Amino acid sequence: MRRLSLSCLLALLLSTPLAWSQVPDNAVWIDVRTPSEFAEGRVEGATLIPWDGIETGIRALKLDKDTPIVLYCGSGGRAGRARETLQANGYSQVTNAGGLEEAQALKAASQAED
């Protein structure tokens, strides 16, 4: 099962504009899971905005449309839908980091480069 996760992570990295060490310091991390999932564990510093409320939630943050945004969920599906919604609303730097484990690894790798 770990191999599947690692292969999914590799596919994710190859399909996103961000490489491991290229998450900008000013990136906004958004957890698009449910409040109960968020309470069980999250990426440090992430903001909870469930995927089905992403438009309202992101507006409340008052971000510039070119702010780097990194989304994650349980496996990448909800983050993908949220990414599509944000892009349709003009946000230009939105990345789907996949699931929680992949997002935590991405965050740790980006911090290691600092």
Q: Is 8 a catalytic residue?
A: no
Distance CA 48, CA 71 (A): 10
CA-closest candidate to residue 106, choices 22, 17, 26, 38: 22
Residues 9, 43, 73, 86: which is the catalytic one? 73
First to last CA, the chain: 31
CA-closest candidate to residue 37, choices 50, 53, 24, 52: 50
**Residues involved in catalysis:** 73
